[in-house]
Structure 1
Amino acid sequence: MRKMGIKDIAALSGVSPATVSRTLRNPELVNKDTRKKVMKAVKESGYRPNRFGSSLRTRQSGNIVVVMPDITHQVNAGIIRAIESEAQKHGYSVLLGDTQGLIERERHYADMVNSGQADGILLFTPRLPFDVDPDQPLLKQLPPLVSGNETIPVEGLCRVSVNNTAGARAATEYLLSLGHRRIAAVLGASDAPSNQERLDGYHQAMDEAGLQVDPQWIVAGDYSTDSGMAAMEKLLKLRQRPTAVFCFNDDMAIGALNVLHQYGFAIPQDISVMGFDDIRYAALMRPALTTIHQPLEDIGRAAMQLLLEQLNGRQPKNNYVELPFELIVRQSTGPVPLQGESE
């Protein structure tokens, strides 16, 4: 006989799987009539909850799950290392969830928390992968959770990041200070809030300098090296090429540098390239990459500390930790070419 699961109980009682899970974990959050329907279905079906499925706050699993779009990206390495270190100090193991940006994978890893296989979750993704009841307060329906790097627009949600808008503005202002006026921007993933925040910072700096942004200077990317290469190929075909290119992460900037080398451009004498993140390879490039430094290990450590407070039954006093960024000037940027800029 097939073993009954939460989805079966949901079908029998006419509610969502999230409501069944919430009824079993935190019945006080569910209204009386719904609770009676769910428990009647549980009793009649003989359903036995997963042995990990008791209250999240009992810490029975000893696991936390970290959900990221791509754990192979260099920007995530320092974050993961710090999370692992901080978690182990407090007796927790880390389960890594690599989603490849797919919503169904995000929901799969979220279900690990719902089923009690993990006690809390660190989300480095742009959305909440949980079923929620719109008639109930949102935060009360969520497990211990911290959002990292990407801004999920939920008031009161615990999160950790740098100020992407201010960082991108600082990057653009530095290129402007070198005399550049034709500054291109290579965008990140279209669904990532960090992409829009960095674009806002770029536009703020250009607007304040009184410069009109040519739409051809804004090129789509997706935070991958390949997209940085494709973007630079497009920019080099423009009749009036930009004299500087601001890539919204280092991976794309490294791709851009590679294309410039292939076509024999001198960097930064012919064109300057700026990144964002300061991954390990940024300093090893030739020329070394000018970029905005994110304190990646501090991000991981702060996110885990916020989660630990929740796991210990405390609501953090400060639910938003904004960490400082730093402009790191290296050899990939220089003054505008004398023949390259007409005022």
Structure 2
Amino acid sequence: MPADARRTTLATIARAAGVSVATVSKVVNGRSDVAPRTRARVLELLYQHDYLAPVFRHSEAPESPTIEVQFAEGLRSYVAEALEGVADAAAELGAAVVISKSSPAPHWARDLVAAGRRALIGVTSVYTTAYVNALARAGLPLVVLDPLHLPHSGVNSVGATNFAGGLAATQHLLSLGHRGIAYLGGPTLAASHQARAHGYRAAMEAAGAAVPSAYVRAGEFTYQAGLAGAAALLALPEPPTAVFAGNDEIALGAIEAARVRGLRIPEDLSVVGFDDTFLAQMASPPLTTVRQPLREMGGVALRTALRLANGEKVESHHIELATELVVRASTAPPHPRSAAGG
């Protein structure tokens, strides 16, 4: 710590903020009887002077803790179901939840603390080392729900058994007699995409089924990516007879791409998704998919955040909940005149 930081006292902060030493002490100790604007000004000065005292004494914390839940992208079906799990657990445990989109604004972590947040749950967001460090400096615990990727293993996170899910999806298609099976995944660097792809490849290798390079495509976890990716697959000289999609939205895009080409699901092309969101049952035909326990994951994330906010230790930095294959009507044995058969 710099020498000038060692000389910093509460009186120094109080003079700079134009408040009493008692007010600064209340902010340092997490007392609630300080106006939000004053609290934010004092916190800003504390960090400018590297006065990194704990922001909350948990014994003095509010009885109903408030947890911030942030997501980076649109409120898609996956995020909506995970948020419902967070909200259900919060209602059960008497906690409050504030939902927002990730903000690049300066001092955002300190602003959350000034607003009385006790912890942050991030849903499928990208967290850089700088982001994680800002939260640590603010004394705000972080729990990531289904992380895309994390800067280091010390970040607390909740996910699902993505490798096992990818393995089960591919084994299901293999058991139906498919050998030309493609994988349409998400962003290349996303941990969930990589794990699902590894499960797919492991099943194909164990069955002795070839995986042409053109059969594995990364993109985004969106309907549009599924539409474009499947169109490219079906235009190949030897198109696949089945597609394992990295999520339900990609799967629905693949089904539409097949429909545009005059192909039937599952007679001409079998499709398996991942997540088992409400979209899977609404698809035509209803989608065979790998169920992620999204609401349960949200509940675990909320409980973990509350434990961290209360200064408790957790047994593991990363918790994985089991996935399960749900077989519906979008998969069947390959037809003699299926996509790959010309």
The equivalences for 1:244-323 within 5 A come to: 244-323=242-321
**Contact 2:227/2:257 (<8 A) preserved:** yes
Distance in 2 between residues matched to 1:326 and 1:59, nearest whole Å: 40
C-alpha distance in structure 2 between counterparts of 1:140 and 1:45, whole Å: 21
Q: Which runs of 5+ in 2 are unaligned?
A: 20-26, 28-37, 44-53
Alignment of 1:192-203 (within 5 A): 192-203=190-201
* Correspondence list, 1:8-27, <5 A: none
Contact 1:74 1:280 in 2 (8 A): yes
2:17 corresponding residue in structure 1: 46
Q: How does 1:127-138 map to 2 (within 5 A)?
A: 127-128=127-128, 130=131, 132=133
Deviation string 1:123-177 (CA, Å, 9 cap, x unpaired) is 22232462639xxxx9788622212112525334322111111111111111111
Q: In structure 1, what residue type is equivalent to 2:122? A: L
**Rounded Cα–Cα distance in structure 1 between residues aligned with 2:82 and 2:279:** 16
Q: Distance in 2 between matches of 1:286 and 1:231?
A: 19
Deviation per CA, 1:26-63, whole angstroms, max 9, x where unpaired?
xxxxx473633665974663366742658244535942
Structure 1: 5+ residue stretches without partners: 1-30
Q: Which moved more, 1:287-296 or 1:311-320?
A: 311-320
> Which stretches of structure 1, 4 residues or more, deviate above 6 A after TM superposition?
138-141
Offset of residue 330 of structure 1: 0.7
Is contact 1:243-1:270 (8 Å) kept?
A: yes
Change in Cα spacing, 1:42 to 1:233, as seen in structure 2 (3 Å) is: same
Task: Give the structure 1 partner of residue 143 of structure 2.
Answer: 146
Matches within 5 A, 1:326-341: 326-340=324-338
Task: Give the count of matched residue pairs.
Answer: 304
Q: What's the CA shift for 1:262?
A: 2.5
Residue type of the partner of 1:321? I
- TM superposition shift of 1:284: 1.8
Instruction: Indicate the residue corresponding to 1:8 in structure 2.
Output: none
* d(CA) in 2 for partners of 1:327, 1:70: 27
**What amino acid is aligned across from residue 46 of structure 1 in structure 2?**
A
Corresponding residue for 2:61? 59
CA contact (8 A) 1:71 1:77 kept: no
Distance across 2 between alignment mates of 1:210 and 1:154 = 36
- Displacement of 1:114 in angstroms is 4.7
Does the CA contact (< 8 Å) of 2:109 and 2:138 recur in 1?
no
Shift of 1:207: 2.0
Asked if structure 2 preserves the Cα contact closer than 8 Å seen for 1:148 and 1:161, the reply is yes
Task: Give the direction of change, closer, same or farther, for the CA distance of 1:108–1:210 in structure 2 (3 Å limit).
Answer: farther
- C-alpha contact 2:55 2:138 (8 A) present in aligned 1: no
Q: CA, structure 1 residues 108+247, in 2 after alignment: closer, same or farther (shift >3 Å)? A: farther
Moved more, 121-130 or 251-260: 121-130
Name the aligned partner's letter for residue 131 of structure 2. Answer: F
Contact 1:97 1:109 in 2 (8 A): no
CA RMSD of aligned residues (A): 2.9
Contact 1:59 1:311 in 2 (8 A): no
Amino acid at match of 2:5: R
In structure 1, the partner of 2:119 is 120
Give the alignment of 1:207-222 within 5 angstroms. 207-222=205-220
Any idea what SS the aligned residue of 2:279 has? helix
**Matching residue's letter, 2:112:** V
C-alpha separation between the residues in 1 aligned to 2:132 and 2:75?
28
- 2:202 aligns with one of 191, 201, 204: 204
The answer to whether the aligner puts 1:36 opposite 2:6 as a matched pair is yes
Q: Is the 8 A contact 1:162 1:294 kept in 2?
A: yes
Say if 2:238 is the partner of 1:240: yes
CA distance in 1, matches of 2:8, 2:245: 51
Q: What is the identity, as a one-letter code, of the residue corresponding to 1:302?
A: V
Q: Is the 8 A contact 1:162 1:324 kept in 2?
A: yes
Q: Contact conserved, 1:65 with 1:109, CA < 8 A, in 2?
A: no
The amino acid across from 2:288 in the alignment is T
In structure 1, how many angstroms separate the alpha carbons of the residues matched to 2:308 and 2:273?
Answer: 35
- CA contact 1:55–1:116 (8 Å) conserved in 2: no
Letter in 2 for 1:165: F
Percent identity over the alignment is: 31
TM-score (normalizing by structure 2)? 0.79
Contact 1:277 1:291 in 2 (8 A): yes
CA contact (8 A) 1:139 1:157 kept: no
Provide the rounded CA distance (Å) in 1 between the counterparts of 2:132 and 2:140.
12
* Distance in 2 of aligned mates of 1:209 and 1:34: 66
